[in-house]
Amino acid sequence: MAIAAPGQLNVNESPIWGSRSVDCFEKLEQIGEGTYGQVYMAKEIKTGEIVALKKIRMDNEREGFPITAIREIKILKKLHHENVIKLKEIVTSQGPEKDEQGKPDGNKYKGGIYMVFEYMDHDLTGLADRPGMRFTVPQIKCYMRQLLTGLHYCHVNQVLHRDIKGSNLLIDNEGNLKLADFGLARSFSNDQNANLTNRVITLWYRPPELLLGTTKYGPAVDMWSVGCIFAELLQGKPIFPGKDEPEQLNKIYELCGAPNEVNWPGVSKIPYYNKFMPTRPMKRRLRDVFRHFDHHALELLEKMLTLDPSQRITAKDALDAEYFWTDPLPCDPKSLPKYESSHEFQTKKKRQQQRQNEEMAKRQKMQHPQPHTRLPPIQQPGQHAQMRSGPNQPIHGSQPQVSAGPTHHYGKPRGPSGGPGRYPPNGNPGGGYSHPNRAGQGGSGYGSGPYPPQGRGAPYGSNSMPGGGPRGSGASGYVGAPNYPQQGGPYGGSAAGRGSNMMGGNRNQQQYGWQQ
Amino acid sequence: MTGLMPGELPHHGTPDGNSGKSSQDKQEESLGRWYMSRKEIEEHSPSRKDGIDLKKETYLRKSYCTFLQDLGMRLKVPQVTIATAIIFCHRFFLRQSHAKNDRRTIATVCMFLAGKVEETPRPLKDVILVSYEIIHKKDPAAAQRIKQKEVYEQQKELILLGERVVLATLGFDLNVQHPYKPLVEAIKKFNVAKNALAQVAWNFVNDGLRTSLCLQFKPHHIAAGAIFLAAKFLKVKLPSDGEKVWWQEFDVTPRQLEEVSNQMLELYEQNRLPPAQGSEVEGSAGGTRAASKAPSANEEQASKQISSQAPQHSSVERTAVPQRGTENQSNDGSAEMGSDITDHNLDIRESHNSEQLTHQDNKREVSNRSKSGTERDQDRIVGTKEGAEVGRRDESALNNSGSNVGRNLERREVPLGHSPNEAIKIDKDKLKALAAMGKKRKEQRGEMALKKDVMDEDDLIERELEDGIELAVEDEKNKRERRQNWSKPDGEDHHGGENHEETRDGRYMNMKVQFQKDMDEDNAEEGEMIDDASSSLNNRKRRMGSPPGRQPEMKKHLDSSYHNDLAE
C-alpha cells in the first residue's frame, strides 16, 4: 500500500490505545459553569462510577488547543497525592456539540475535549454557605492540615497553584479535602529567573506582592491565599473583600500595615509600590482585629499573612505549627458528618437568587446600605443575609442525607462560621485583564464560575450567615458600606501587556460582557 | 547549566515516603505505554499492517525528523522543542499508520503542539507558512499560494483538525523528558574535556532522535550511550572511581549501554556504505575547498567511464577510492560533521520525494533498491545476532577473542584498564565505533562485503553512481530554490543573497547557537518571557533584552494583539 496522500489524516478510527470517547459517560447534571467551561456530574456507563467532566473551552480556535489547558494537563499528570484532585483521563467527543441553549458551539473541529476528574461532593465555599453550617475547631484543623499537605506536595514538585480559594477546595463525603482547578497553575524553577504573570489568583486572595506588580515570585503567593482561607474559616467571612486592585491593597494595608523597607526589604523596587502609597500611616492591626481567635491559630495566621513573601511561612513549616499539635487536635476526616452535595453552582433557584440579588445591587448603586429586613440581630450592619430555599434536591448516585450540623463540638466554638456567597472576577471589568486570569477563574473547584457567560452576576461581597453564632463577630473593621462594583480602573494602559500566546479573541468579548 | 528544563521534571522528595513511591509508580505506569522492544516496533507497527515495509518506514522516520529539524530551526525554537516534536511524531506513528496519515501534516502538528508544550509557542500562522514552504520547496509559486486566503484557511483547518487527532492518539501524554538534562548533569561531574565531550554527546543525542531509540530506552539510558560514544570518538578516558564505573551513576546496565550505542552507530553505517553517497558527501563536506572538490568530480567521472566498460575488477578498485576519501574526511571532522553528513543525505531523499508523481514512483524504486543494499547489510548483522545459538555464541566469543587479540597487537601502546567482561563488551563497541568512523575498519568491512556479493554489489554500485549524480544536480537546484523561498517571506533573513555553502554554514551556526541556548539556563527561561502576560514596563524591558532573532516574533505578537483589539 502507498503511504498517505498529502494532507491525509486518520480521523475516523477510534483506537483503543488513544483517548476514549465522551460517550463512555452519561452526563447527569451540570455542577459548574463559567467563562472557563462547563462542569458536569457524570456516570461511567460501564462501571457506574461517578465522575466530574470538565469541558475544555476552545474559545480561541485560532491557536488550537489552549496552552493553558496544556499546562494544566501536564501538571495534573505529574501530581499524585491524596490531597490533590486526580485527573483520571481525558476524553473527546466526535461530532459538533450543542451548548446548553441548543446552539452549536463555536468549536467546529470535531467536538469537545473533557478532563475526567474524581467526583467530590462539595467545595469549601458551597459547604460553608449551607444554612446552619458551623465548622468545629477540629474540623477546621482537619481541613487546614489537608490543604497544607496537598499544597506542600505541589510546591515540592515545583508547581504553583495560583488560584487557591474556597471554591477550588473540594471535599468528599469521607471528609477528604483536595486542591482542584489547576487551570492557572504553573511549574516554576527555583532560580527565580523566570518572569511570571502577576495577574493571577482571585482578587480577594491575591497577595500584596502581586498587587504591587512583581513578576518574580514563588510558593509564597499560594501561602497568602491559604492565610485568607484560614482567617475566613475562623471568622466566617472573607477578610479582604476588595472590589478592585487599589481597594484590595488598601484593605490589606488596613489589617496588615503598610509595607516599607523595614518590614519588607526591597518592596520599594516593586513596580507599583509608589503608585499605591497609602495616604496615611497604617500600623499592623491583625492581632487586635482577631484577638478573639485561639492563640495558636492567631500565631499561625500572623505568619501566613506576612507582607514580605520571603518571610512568609511555608506550607511545610505551617504543618509543624503548634496550632495542629495542641488540643483539640484535627479530627479524623471520616468522623465528619455527611452533608448533602454542595457545589457553589447548583440549581435554577440559585440563578433566580442571582437575578434578584442583581436587581438589589442596581437599586443600591448609590452605595447606601440597606440592611435586610430579616437580618438576625447579632449581625453587623451592612451585611446581607441570603436565606436559602431549603436543601438541594437529591443528586443521583449520592446517598441522600438529612442536612445536619456537627453532632457535637470540641471545645468552645469561636464566632460564627460560614463563607462568602460569591467571588468577584479578578480586577476591574474595564481594566487591563490578563487573559490567563480568566482562563482559570470559576466558582467551582472544577473550574467554572457562578456567573453566566454574559451579563453581570450577583453583587460582590454578599455573605450568607443565617445561623449566626452565640457571640457576634468583634471585627469592627468590617463596619461600613457594602462593596459594589465600580466601572473602570487604573490599569487601562496595561492592556498592552497581554501574553503572546494570543489567548485573547473571544475572551475579550467575555471581558467586555461584564461591563454590560 | 542546571535546570535545563526547569519545572519539567517531577521531584519526588515529598515528606511522605509512601506518597513519593506512589507518585513514582504512577509516573512509570504512564510512561510505560510508550516503551517497547525494538522487535515489536519493527515487526508490529501499524504501518507494517498496511503493507509498508521496514525500510520504507525507516526512511519515512528520517524524513519527518529532517523536516522537523528544518521547521524548528526556521521557527527559531530551541532544540528541546524540536526534540519534543520529534518524540510526539515517533509516538504517533507507533500508534497510527503512515498509510493513513500524511507524515508532513502530522509533523507540522507536532511542532505546533510542542511549541506550546515547551513554553515556546509559535503562532499557528507562522507554523503553517513555514511548513508549507518547506513541503513545497521545489514549487516557486508555493510561497505566494499559501498567502491566498482560501489556501491558508484550508491548511489551517487541516492543522487544527490534525491537532485533535494527534492529541487523542498521544492520549494527551504531553510530559516528555529528554537526554539533554541527564547528559549535562553527568558531564559536569567529569574533569575531562567537558565542553568537547558535551558538544559531541549532544550531537549524538540529536542524531539519535532519527532512530526509534527514544521508544525503547529512557532518556538517561540514551544519555549514557551518547556519552560513551562521545568519549570513544574523542579518545577520552572516562573517569572511574575505584571499582565504580562512570555509567553506574546512570542506573544503566551494560547491556542497555551496548544496545543504545550500537543503534546510534547504525545510523552512520547506513549512510556510508553506498560509495556514491560517499562521493556526494565528500563533495558537499568539502565546502569552499575547491582543491577537494575537483578530485571528487574527477573520481566520479572516472568511475562512471570505467563502469560503462563493465570490468568487474576495475569497478571494485574504483569503488575503494571514494570510500577512502570519505574516511579521510571523517577522520578530520567531528561529530558535527557527522550530523551534517546525515542531514545532507536525508535532504537528498527529501528532494527526491518531492518529485512529481511519475518521477516519484521511479525515484522510489531507485531509493528502494538503494536501501535494499543497506537493508541487506542490516539483515546480515541482525541475522548474525538474532540467529545466535549456543554454538554460534561460542563462535561469536571466539571471533571477539580474535578481534581482541588483533586489536591488542595493533594498539599495544594503549592499555585497557577494564575487567575481562568489560573488555570484551567495550572492545566490541570499539570495533563498531571504529567501523563507523575509522579508516582501516571501514576498508576491511567494505572489502569483505564486496567479496561476498561481488555480482549484486557491482550492479547496485553502478546504479547508485548514476543516481548519486542525478541527486547531486537536483540537490543543487533545491538549495537555490530554498534560498529564494527563505528570503521571500522574511525580509530580515540575512542569507538571501548568499551561496549555498554559506547557507549551510548558517545552519551549522544555528545548531551551535541552539546548543548554547539550550545549555544556558537563562536562555532556556527566556522562552517563557514571551508567552507570559506582564505589565507593559516589563514587556518593554524584555523587548530590549530579547535576542535579535526574537524581535520579529515579539513584534508580530504585539501587532496581532493590537489588531485583535481593533477587531474587537
Domain CATH for A61: 3.30.200.20
Q: Does B564 touch chain A (CB under 8 A)?
A: yes
Q: pLDDT class for A263, splitting at 50, 70, 90?
A: confident
CA torsion through residues A113, A119, A125, A131, sign: positive
The per-residue pLDDT for range A101-120, each reduced to its tens digit, is 444 445 444 478 888 998 88
- Both ends of chain A: CA-CA distance in Å? 59
Answer whether residue B479 shows pLDDT above 90: no
Domain boundary among A305, A333, A361: A333
Answer whether residue B138 shows pLDDT above 80: no
**Minimal Cβ distance to A501: which of B95, B113, B121:** B121
For residues B21-43, average pLDDT: 62
Q: Is residue B520 part of a domain?
A: no
Q: Is residue A220 part of a domain?
A: yes
Which residues does B72 contact at the CB level (< 8 Å), separation at least 6?
A: B79, B81, B82, B85, B111
- Crossing angle of helices B357-386 and B454-487, in 10° steps, is 130
pLDDT of residue B503: 31
Same domain, A126 and A110: no
Question: B174 near A68, Cβ under 8 Å?
Answer: no
- Alpha-carbon gap, residue B273 to B441, rounded angstroms: 12
Answer whether residue B99 shows pLDDT above 80: yes
Task: For residue A136, report the phi and psi dihedrals to the nearest 5 degrees.
Answer: -80, 165
Domain boundary among B272, B292, B322: B272
For residues B452-461, average pLDDT: 37
Answer whether residue B193 shows pLDDT above 60: yes
Q: How many domains does chain B have?
A: 2
Same domain, B119 and B218: no
The residues facing A53 across adjacent strands are A40, A116
Q: pLDDT class for B244, splitting at 50, 70, 90?
A: low
State which of A142-151, A237-246, A472-481 shows the largest mean pLDDT: A142-151
pLDDT of residue A344: 60
Report residue A365 as a C-alpha cell.
448603586
- Alpha-carbon gap, residue A443 to A170, rounded angstroms: 11
Report residue B364 as a C-alpha cell.
522510489
pLDDT of residue B112: 95
Q: Is residue A90 part of a domain?
A: yes
Pairing mode of beta strands A50-55, A39-44? antiparallel
Nearest CA in chain A to B53: A1
Q: pLDDT class for B87, splitting at 50, 70, 90?
A: very high
The whole-chain average pLDDT of chain B stands at 54
* Structural domain boundaries, residue A88: 20-96+106-118
Q: Does A366 touch chain B (CB under 8 A)?
A: no
**Alpha-helix runs per DSSP H in A40-195:** 67-78, 124-128, 137-156
Q: Is residue B249 part of a domain?
A: yes
Would you call A474 exposed, middle or buried from its count of C-beta atoms within 10 A (0-12, 13-18, 19+)?
A: middle
Same domain, B146 and B83: yes
pLDDT of residue B213: 84
Q: Which residue of B50, B104, B160 to mutate against A (max A Cβ within 10 Å)?
A: B160
- Alpha-carbon gap, residue A476 to A479, rounded angstroms: 6
Q: Is residue B146 part of a domain?
A: yes
Domain boundary among B135, B153, B170: B170
The per-residue pLDDT for range A60-115, each reduced to its tens digit, is 556 888 888 898 898 998 898 989 998 988 888 766 554 444 444 454 444 788 88
Q: Is residue B196 part of a domain?
A: yes
- Alpha-carbon gap, residue B461 to B440, rounded angstroms: 21
For residues B251-257, average pLDDT: 78
- Alpha-carbon gap, residue A379 to A185, rounded angstroms: 37
Domain boundary among B248, B272, B296: B272
Answer whether residue A295 shows pLDDT above 70: yes
Question: Could you say which residues from 503 to 542 on chain B have a Cβ atom under 8 Å away from some Cβ of chain A?
Answer: 521-522, 525, 528-539, 542
State which of A173-187, A228-242, A458-472 shows the largest mean pLDDT: A228-242
**Alpha-helix runs per DSSP H in B33-148:** 38-43, 46-49, 54-75, 79-95, 103-117, 124-135, 142-145
Question: B454 near B312, Cβ under 8 Å?
Answer: yes
Same domain, A51 and A186: no
Q: Is residue B199 part of a domain?
A: yes
**Minimal Cβ distance to A505: which of B522, B535, B564:** B564
Task: Return the percentage of chain B with pLDDT > 70, whole number.
Answer: 38
3-state secondary structure of A88: strand
* Structural domain boundaries, residue B252: 179-272
Q: Which residue of B164, B361, B365, B559 to mutate against A (max A Cβ within 10 Å)?
A: B164
- Alpha-carbon gap, residue B310 to B319, rounded angstroms: 13
Same domain, A159 and A238: yes
Longest dimension (CA), chain A: 83
Same domain, A190 and A71: no
Of B77 and B153, which is predicted with more confidence?
Answer: B77
Q: Is residue B125 part of a domain?
A: yes
Q: Is residue A39 part of a domain?
A: yes
Same domain, A248 and A114: no
pLDDT of residue B319: 28
A144-148, A189-193, B193-197, B339-343, range with the lowest pLDDT: B339-343
Same domain, A204 and A306: yes
Confirm or deny that A54 is annotated as ligand binding.
yes
Q: How many domains does chain A have?
A: 2
State which of A253-267, B6-20, B441-455 shows the largest mean pLDDT: A253-267
Same domain, A291 and A328: yes
The per-residue pLDDT for range B408-439, each reduced to its tens digit, is 333 223 233 333 333 324 334 434 443 444 33
Answer whether residue B229 shows pLDDT above 70: yes
What CA–CA distances, in Å, run from B350 to A490, B61, B66, B338? 56, 11, 8, 18
For residues A5-9, average pLDDT: 73
Same domain, B97 and B183: no
Same domain, A113 and A180: no
Question: Domain with B218 in it: what CATH number?
Answer: 1.10.472.10
Q: Does A191 touch chain B (CB under 8 A)?
A: yes
Q: b/e for A335-350, b at 16 or more Cβ within 10 A?
A: ebeebbbbbbbbeeeb
Same domain, B147 and B258: no
Same domain, A129 and A91: no
Domain boundary among A307, A333, A359: A333
pLDDT of residue B119: 85
Answer whether residue B277 shows pLDDT above 80: no
Nearest CA-CA partner of A308 in A276, A281, A268: A268
Question: A344 near A123, Cβ under 8 Å?
Answer: yes
The per-residue pLDDT for range A302-339, each reduced to its tens digit, is 899 999 999 899 998 999 998 998 878 888 887 777 67
Q: pLDDT class for A279, splitting at 50, 70, 90?
A: confident
Nearest CA-CA partner of A155 in A121, A124, A134, A185: A185
Of B470 and A435, which is predicted with more confidence?
Answer: B470
Nearest CA-CA partner of B467 in B379, B339, B351: B351
> H or E element: which one contains A234?
helix A220-235
Sheet containing strand A122-123, edge to edge, reads: A122-123, A169-171, A177-179
Answer whether residue B224 shows pLDDT above 70: yes
- Number of residues that this document lists for chain A: 516
Would you call B301 exposed, middle or buried from its count of C-beta atoms within 10 A (0-12, 13-18, 19+)?
A: exposed
Q: Provide, as residue numbers in chain B, all residues whose Cβ is less than 8 Å from the Cβ of A7.
A: 102, 105, 158
Same domain, A225 and A246: yes
Same domain, B244 and B198: yes
Same domain, B218 and B105: no
